[in-house]
Copies of this chain bind each other. A is one copy, B any other.
Amino acid sequence: MFSKTCEYAIKAVLYIATQSLNNIRVKIGDVAENTGSPEAFTAKILSTLTKHKLLHSIKGPYGGFEIEEKKMKQIKISEIVYAIDGDAIYNGCGLGLNKCNAAKPCPMHDKFIKVRSELKKMLETTTVHELATKVKAGKSILIRN
């Protein structure tokens, strides 16, 4: 469904958001540890997310990552997926034809479009804040030990 990189990215954002809800700024090591992701690779991902303005980073001692509560209410999961995996999941086709054409589509078109648009809608209507709140309340987890 998503690339591994994208899974790490979603978990990382949700972990940072959850901690930000408690006004705790977190370091790369914390994120890696609490999402079950490799640390150096997590650094790369967080850097990408920061460039896309999905996270706020602070360098130096007592630095780390955080997300304002206002921001996490705005950011949708779709934006994280887009920043990492690009638009393939939104615009790419099920059978990978070079170009799409509704007049003469691939034979799975109708059925495929239906499922894909539901996925898209789901990602576009789910906010980081909504999910982070669930994690904070202990209703769900980001890592299984």
Q: Which residues of A contact B (CB under 8 A)?
A: 1-2, 4, 7, 10-11, 14, 36, 77, 89, 92, 94-99, 101, 104-109, 111-112, 114-116, 118-119, 122, 126, 131-132, 134-135, 139-144
Complexed CA–CA distance, A72 and B96 (Å): 22
Give Cα A98–Cα B139 distance, bound, in whole angstroms.
18
Question: Which residues does chain B contribute within 8 Å of A135, judged by CB atoms?
Answer: 107
Most buried by B among A14, A36, A107: A107
Q: Select A108's contact among B92, B126, B144, beta carbons within 8 Å.
A: B126
For the complex formed, measure the closest distance between the CB of A96 and the CB atoms of chain B, giving whole angstroms: 4
Q: A1-B1, A107-B135, A119-B115 are in contact. Are A144 and B98 (CB under 8 A)?
A: yes
- Given known pairs A131-B107, A144-B101, the reply for A11 and B115 (CB within 8 Å) is no
Top 10 closest pairs, chain A to chain B, by CB: A107-B131, A107-B140, A7-B96, A107-B134, A115-B119, A98-B144, A111-B122, A97-B144, A7-B95, A104-B141
Judge whether B97 and A143 touch: CB under 8 Å: yes
Q: What residues of chain B lie closer than 8 Å to A99, measured between beta carbons?
A: 144
In the assembled complex, the CB of A130 is this many whole angstroms from the nearest CB of chain B, namely: 8
Q: How far is the CA of A105 from the CA of B140 in the complex (A)?
A: 5
